[in-house]
Structure 1
Amino acid sequence: MSLLSIRNVRKSFGTNLVLNDFSLDVEAGECVVLIGASGSGKSTLLRCVNLLETVDDGVIELDGTDITDPRIDTDRVRSGIGIVFQSYNLFPHLSVLDNVTLAPIRVHGVPKARARTQALEMLDRVGLADKASAKPDELSGGQQQRAAIARAMVNSPKLMLLDEVTSALDPELVGEVLDLLCELSSEGMTMLICTHEMSFARSVADKICFLDQGRLLEAGPPQQLLEHPAEPRTQEFLRRIRG
């Protein structure tokens, strides 16, 4: 059984069909990267998996549980999923430590002392132990993104969702975030990642999926899909990306 199973999912915003009969399996410990043009449905898919958007049709199962069932406890589902956006979404008035402990304490009812201990361990894990008392605007972009990843990981999620997490960074800061994600992948963290950066995709992915107009058009190992794509639309996209 796949850790994440997406079956025939459809999602529209008004008359705009964003996900069109979309299906994908992600195995435990697998890093799957989604590529495709803007508007192809990548970010919407992540938001549907994290229940930030409600699907119009189809089923999403996480570890065998149908999380698209309207009776599902969304807070319980989200406690098992970490999500990181390109804009960090850290609260500027809170310290890094308080940003990381906020959800465990207020949403999941973790005792404050235990939440702080777990948060400090996670900040150490991402190389930010010495920045626990700093405010987000005192950090570099790469450090802010690593803090956001620490916040997403503090509940030991089954699945990590990452949406263009390097696109807002200066080129010299991309490497530190990429190194962290490669390390997490090597340790068996299950990840579903949206990106426009092909070198990033090649470095971290077990499987790359090309989305086009809300459909999964083609999928395969990085070497195969990036160097020998089968679909003409994939070939065209990669030619444009490479300039």
Structure 2
Amino acid sequence: MSVLKIEGLRKSFHGHDVLKGIDLEVRSHEVVCLIGASGSGKSTLLRCVNLLEEVDDGAIYLEGKEITDPRVNVDDVRKRLGIVFQAYNLFPHMTVLDNITLAPRQVHKVTRKAAEEQARTLLARFGLEGKADAYPDQLSGGQQQRVAVVRAMATQPTLLLLDEITSALDPELVVEVLGVIRELKATGMTMVMTTHEMSFCREIADTVCFLDNGVLVEKGAPERIFTDPEQPRTREFLRSVLESGRF
């Protein structure tokens, strides 16, 4: 079953084409990794899916329903999507528990008791026991990013979008956040993520998509993309990544 389908997606800013006719399909329980150089359009693509950016042309479908239709209720769509950015975006004046339960209580109308029970279960599942009453500035960067993932999961999203969630972390903190993503994959969570962690991408992805200058140049299984890419631009990109020691 197709959870997400993107057809001919185009987006420009001030006359500069950022996305040039993207076609992509994500099936239930699939993990799709978007790779490419900075400025290739990866983050803009995720922002379009979450309707944070208005598309110029093309269509996006979530479980068969076009969400780019102007008549669609944007808030209703976002209830079914979870998104985590590289900046944690936690509310600094709220405890971890309040950060996690805010959307379930205010948007999904879950009772405080039920929301808090679910939040504590998720915190325990991702190694954050005892942090419910802490404030964000009392946590490490890795812990804050894990809380951000837990907050996204607390709304039980149909699709989880992850935008370079390890890029702002020190190397030793990256490992703990990537462990959370492995756990989510094991549970069958459908995810689309942008990442510069090529080894992790090769391990976790079902499908890898290489974007370059707003074009989806190549997509396929990770083993093929990383060992025998068909397109010269893909080979060039991966060679530069290898030479830089980021693989």
After TM superposition, the score normalised by the length of structure 1 is: 0.97
Match of 1:41? 41
Flag structure 1 segments of 5+ consecutive residues without an equivalent.
none
Query: How many pairs does the alignment contain?
Result: 243
Which residue type is aligned with residue 95 of structure 1?
T
Q: Give per-residue Cα distances to partners, 1:134-160, cap 9 Å, x unaligned.
A: 011111111111100000000111100
Q: Tell me, yes or no, if structure 1 residue 155 matches structure 2 residue 164.
A: no
Superposition deviation, residue 105 in structure 1: 2.0
Determine helix, strand or coil for the equivalent of 2:32: strand
Q: Are 2:103 and 2:155, in contact at CA under 8 Å, matched by a contact in 1? A: no
Superposition deviation, residue 132 in structure 1: 0.4
Q: Give per-residue Cα distances to partners, 1:61-111, cap 9 Å, x unaligned.
A: 001111001111111111111100011111111111111111222233322
Q: Tell me, yes or no, if structure 1 residue 165 matches structure 2 residue 186.
A: no
Alignment of 1:66-81 (within 5 A): 66-81=66-81
Superposition deviation, residue 123 in structure 1: 1.5
Which residue type is aligned with residue 234 of structure 2?
T
Identity rate, percent:
60
User: C-alpha distance in 2, partners of 1:134/1:179?
Assistant: 22
Which residue type is aligned with residue 35 of structure 1?
I
Determine helix, strand or coil for the equivalent of 1:60: strand
Which residue type is aligned with residue 239 of structure 1?
R
Determine helix, strand or coil for the equivalent of 2:92: coil
Which residue type is aligned with residue 197 of structure 2?
E
User: C-alpha distance in 2, partners of 1:111/1:70?
Assistant: 32
Q: Are 1:7 and 1:23, in contact at CA under 8 Å, matched by a contact in 2? A: yes
Determine helix, strand or coil for the equivalent of 2:25: strand
Q: Give per-residue Cα distances to partners, 1:157-181, cap 9 Å, x unaligned.
A: 1100000011111111111111111
Which residue type is aligned with residue 209 of structure 2?
C
Q: Are 1:182 and 1:203, in contact at CA under 8 Å, matched by a contact in 2? A: no
Q: Give per-residue Cα distances to partners, 1:24-51, cap 9 Å, x unaligned.
A: 0000000000000111110000001111
Flag structure 2 segments of 5+ consecutive residues without an equivalent.
none
RMSD: 1.1
Q: Which moved more, 1:148-157 or 1:95-104?
A: 95-104
Q: Are 2:84 and 2:149, in contact at CA under 8 Å, matched by a contact in 1? A: yes
Which residue type is aligned with residue 207 of structure 1?
T
Which residue type is aligned with residue 116 of structure 1?
E
Q: Are 2:108 and 2:155, in contact at CA under 8 Å, matched by a contact in 1? A: no
Alignment of 1:1-243 (within 5 A): 1-243=1-243
User: C-alpha distance in 1, partners of 2:201/2:118?
Assistant: 30
Q: Are 1:81 and 1:160, in contact at CA under 8 Å, matched by a contact in 2? A: yes
User: C-alpha distance in 2, partners of 1:183/1:104?
Assistant: 22
Determine helix, strand or coil for the equivalent of 2:18: strand
User: C-alpha distance in 2, partners of 1:131/1:28?
Assistant: 32
Q: Are 2:10 and 2:58, in contact at CA under 8 Å, matched by a contact in 1? A: yes
Determine helix, strand or coil for the equivalent of 2:2: coil
User: C-alpha distance in 2, partners of 1:93/1:179?
Assistant: 27
Q: Which moved more, 1:183-192 or 1:102-111?
A: 102-111
After TM superposition, the score normalised by the length of structure 2 is: 0.95
Q: Are 1:160 and 1:192, in contact at CA under 8 Å, matched by a contact in 2? A: yes
Which residue type is aligned with residue 23 of structure 2?
S
User: C-alpha distance in 2, partners of 1:76/1:114?
Assistant: 21
Q: Are 1:51 and 1:74, in contact at CA under 8 Å, matched by a contact in 2? A: yes
User: C-alpha distance in 2, partners of 1:165/1:203?
Assistant: 17
User: C-alpha distance in 1, partners of 2:181/2:45?
Assistant: 20
